[in-house]
Structure 1
């Protein structure tokens, strides 16, 4: 793996032909990643590095990690790397493939349950076009999740840090998917069979497949509507806990001076089966339910800069995903972003969490306040 990483890095430094990638949530061209096309081939090499510093005012100076429900920008009061990767992508009329290798805190915390050799894989997938005249693809491997409007790549998100709902839903999936884009570019339909809820290696004791879908509608360049779902489990078969999850969002006026994202997640796990001797009963019946609404707005202050604000709420009384019983927390953030160069983005964000009751993860405080800054460079 080290040899391959070195080879990709050398390749990326050897070519200087640049082209812009496209992202529907990007504010303007200066925040886009540059790609390096290998002359005479369908191969491109890209890279990304995000360094950051996060200062949590509510935690003790000796506490080096921020709350456990966060998986990005988690180190406290130290300069660190959240995500760095180098990616090789190949595409022609009928086949495509991606291989990206990563390091950083994102990989450290999100891939902690994976096998050691998998923890440095950001993407590894191959695809084939199933129709000569239609945009219909079959892809298999490890790929970025289609669930949610926020990704692991901070520069592609409107805010520096991730929302609680993004941190506690899949960033990546492993399996096979079929994707269809209509000829008018307005609809994307996706269906997938995956190894589980953000798992490369299937969870021990879970044998069933998990299913995930996406329906996205773009009636114009100013509006994107999305519904993604997950049906499966993140528990061993013996507990019989089926998970059903839905993610909804609307992105309004993403390329304009003022834009808004409205998001809502809601999910449920069946309550577990309890076994007592030869008796089997369901503990209380019903489901554990969690949900989270979020609103993000941003205003373009110049061709190189914008400000953003976020209000969110996360309710997980049973601690199903957060792991903290009674978790009911509001979140507020305010950020500023400045593109120093077309491929270099400097960001600053203040964030406050306000919980309904003191939580152990906040060192038994009700309010948690932090300031984070980052520098992201893409090539």
Structure 2
């Protein structure tokens, strides 16, 4: 079996570069390489440096609930991938191989052979007249307005809600796009909450949906959901998660994103000898509102600000009891070239309890400065 670096080298060796425009709302244009009918090769590399002003000088990692731009006070690669996409009128498939610290931390629970896979899926169009597709494999998640690809997001670093909800999902899905381009309807059977390898002791599967409405190119309304569990069957902890967001005027001089996520896990079953009872009844609830505003400063630059709050006081997802944290960030982007984006972001976290490492012990606030250079091809 070829090693991952050998596979990447082989992909690069098979084509010569030709650029086309990206369809994302980011400030950069992505390049693509066409090696034959229906086949496109693309790539992405994001290098970064984070200076955490709060953490002790010996601390090399950002807080445990963050998975992107994780390494502190060192130049590193957050995410790099090469992607081959094959598309015809009735068939499509994607294969993307990845490296970076995002992979190191976000895929820690996956099997070794799965970790280098950013995407691997295949699909068929079920109708000649309608845009209805059946796809199966490993996908980037449809839950949330942010992804691991920083250049496609309005801010350099990810929001707390993005860091603690699925970046990827594995399973099979049906996707329908209306003829007028306004509606997207999706239903998916998944292996679990951001899992390729199903959780031990969970019989599953889980279900995820998406309903997206775009009345114009200036407004997107989205509701995505997850119904299943991320606990063994013995605990009987079902999970219901909702992701709602609105994107307004994404290509204009001023744009706005309003997001609100809320999830609930049933309280676990407690066994005492032969007696089974639910611990107090009801559910543990966590939620997170976020607001991002972006302003076009020039033809090549954007300024963006973010205010967010994450409440997981029962430690369902983040794992820190009493977690109630505000986040504030200010972002500047400059497109050096159509496919090269330089970014800088200052961020402050403020929590109701002392949970951030500092030279004097735990503190309730954390401040950091992140820079990155992203190139797509």
The TM-score, its normalising length taken from structure 2, stands at 0.97
Corresponding position of 2:17: 16
Residue in structure 1 matching 2:30, options 22, 30, 33: 33
- How far the C-alpha of 1:360 sits from its partner, in A, is 5.2
**What are the superposed Cα offsets for residues 291-341 of structure 1, whole Å, 9 maximum, x if unpaired?**
000000010011110100000000010011111000000000001000000
Alignment of 1:1-379 (within 5 A): 1-2=3-4, 3-11=6-14, 14-23=15-24, 25-27=25-27, 31-38=28-35, 40-359=36-355, 363-379=361-377
The TM-score, its normalising length taken from structure 1, stands at 0.97
Q: 2:288–2:310: 8 Å Cα contact kept in structure 1?
A: yes
Q: 1:18–1:37: 8 Å Cα contact kept in structure 2?
A: no
- How far the C-alpha of 1:183 sits from its partner, in A, is 0.3
CA gap 1:361/1:197 in 2 versus in 1, 3 angstroms: farther
- How far the C-alpha of 1:359 sits from its partner, in A, is 1.5
- How far the C-alpha of 1:208 sits from its partner, in A, is 1.6
Instruction: Provide the C-alpha distance between the structure 1 equivalents of 2:357 and 2:279, rounded to a whole number of angstroms.
Output: 27
Instruction: Provide the C-alpha distance between the structure 2 equivalents of 1:65 and 1:253, rounded to a whole number of angstroms.
Output: 36
Instruction: Provide the C-alpha distance between the structure 2 equivalents of 1:223 and 1:48, rounded to a whole number of angstroms.
Output: 28
SS, match of residue 19 in structure 1: coil
Q: Give structure 1 regions of 4+ aligned residues with deviation exceeding 6 angstroms.
A: none
Instruction: Provide the C-alpha distance between the structure 2 equivalents of 1:178 and 1:22, rounded to a whole number of angstroms.
Output: 22
Instruction: Provide the C-alpha distance between the structure 1 equivalents of 2:314 and 2:12, rounded to a whole number of angstroms.
Output: 45
Instruction: Provide the C-alpha distance between the structure 2 equivalents of 1:32 and 1:138, rounded to a whole number of angstroms.
Output: 29
CA RMSD of aligned residues (A): 1.0
Instruction: Provide the C-alpha distance between the structure 1 equivalents of 2:123 and 2:271, rounded to a whole number of angstroms.
Output: 44
Query: Bigger CA drift: 172-181 or 360-369?
Result: 360-369
- How far the C-alpha of 1:361 sits from its partner, in A, is 5.7
CA gap 1:65/1:309 in 2 versus in 1, 3 angstroms: same
Instruction: Provide the C-alpha distance between the structure 1 equivalents of 2:335 and 2:73, rounded to a whole number of angstroms.
Output: 24
Structure 1 gaps, min length 5: none
Q: 2:90–2:125: 8 Å Cα contact kept in structure 1?
A: yes
